[in-house]
Amino acid sequence: MNSSNNNVKPIGVFDSGLGGLSVLKELAQRFPNENFIYLGDTARLPYGSKSVDTIQKYAEQNIEFLLKKEAKVIVVACNSASSAFLTKNKKDYGLPIINVIEPASQSAINTSQTNNIGVLGTRATIQQKAYNRVIGLLAPQYKIHSVACPLFVPFIEEGLIDDPIMNLIIHRYIYPLLKTNIDTLILGCTHYPLIKDYIQKVAGKYIQLIDSAPAVADILQHKMAVKAVTPNIKNNKQNIELFITDINSRFEEVATRFLKPVTYSNITATQL
């Protein structure tokens, strides 16, 4: 095997910060023979409050970075970037790019019995109506109820998860949805699976939460099965490299906690 062989190339994953680790964790467990490069653009977080043009520009730079690291497929593990990408991207990067919106939408459609789907997301994702557009195309009979949750990301990045203040914020965002007929709720930001249990408590047991990570892993599996992505057959030790555009004092501790039981190989500060 030489380094130009697709087999030894890593899977590239990026997000604005820690949230995409929820996707990385699922992928690393589902594909133990694969190596991963994760880019967290913490210096420019949050993406969710920025304009679509800015997010698209950041997404392009992140993709370029992962291409230089020889990624064989790129997972956009960020809903805000996926929405911007679905709206704006015209470029062909010559490799598969998987977003999180389409897989999560399909999973929600398969799950809902009431044809009413809730979406929690950042301002950018909700304002761009990415889920409305994708679900509207796949299954126009479904009604979408969306709530922008701008406070979730900063609190999660701070590690304030099991905290009374987080519980108050969850109540504030979820209550309007409980007056609708939703039975399925999309966690439309990759940070939100990190507070999934707390959201579930407030939403109640009759609402199914949709995390995009397993659906993204299914898409990747399919791409490997049809040879759009060449799988790595054997790997004695899975290599997971994290690149972060700004390392704050808490990042390593919080990243370790979020990825558990998956462990990363190293973490490097980088500039784009």
Looking at the Cβ atoms of 208 and 212, the one nearer to ligand DGL is 212
Structure tokens at 111: 């799950």
Structure tokens at 49: 């409050």
With CA atoms as reference, report the closest residue to 85 among 128, 116, 46: 128
Residues that bind ligand DGL (CB under 6 A): 15-17, 19, 45-48, 78-80, 122, 125, 153, 189-191
First to last CA, the chain: 29
| 101-111 helix and 130-138 helix, angle to the nearest 10 degrees | 50
Give dist(CA 106, CA 123) in Å, integer. Answer: 22
Distances (CA, A) of 69 to 12, 99, 153, 200: 8, 19, 28, 38
Least Å distance between CB 5 and ligand DGL?
32
Asked if 211 contacts 196 with a C-beta cutoff of 8 angstroms, the reply is yes
Least Å distance between CB 23 and ligand DGL?
9
Least Å distance between CB 68 and ligand DGL?
22
Active site residues: 78, 189
How many CA atoms are closer than 13 Å to the CA of 43, on its beta-carbon side? 11
Least Å distance between CB 191 and ligand DGL?
5
Least Å distance between CB 236 and ligand DGL?
32
Looking at the Cβ atoms of 16 and 146, the one nearer to ligand DGL is 16
Closest-approach residue to ligand DGL (CB): 48
DSSP class of residue 255 equals H
In order, the DSSP letters of 173-209 are HHHHHHTTT-SEEEEESTTGGGGHHHHHHHH-TTSEE
Looking at the Cβ atoms of 80 and 146, the one nearer to ligand DGL is 80
Give dist(CA 166, CA 143) in Å, integer. Answer: 28
Least Å distance between CB 269 and ligand DGL?
18
6: exposed, middle or buried (Cβ count in 10 Å: 0-12, 13-18, 19+): middle
Distances (CA, A) of 64 to 12, 70, 94, 207: 11, 10, 12, 39
Looking at the Cβ atoms of 16 and 184, the one nearer to ligand DGL is 16
Looking at the Cβ atoms of 154 and 231, the one nearer to ligand DGL is 154
Looking at the Cβ atoms of 9 and 191, the one nearer to ligand DGL is 191
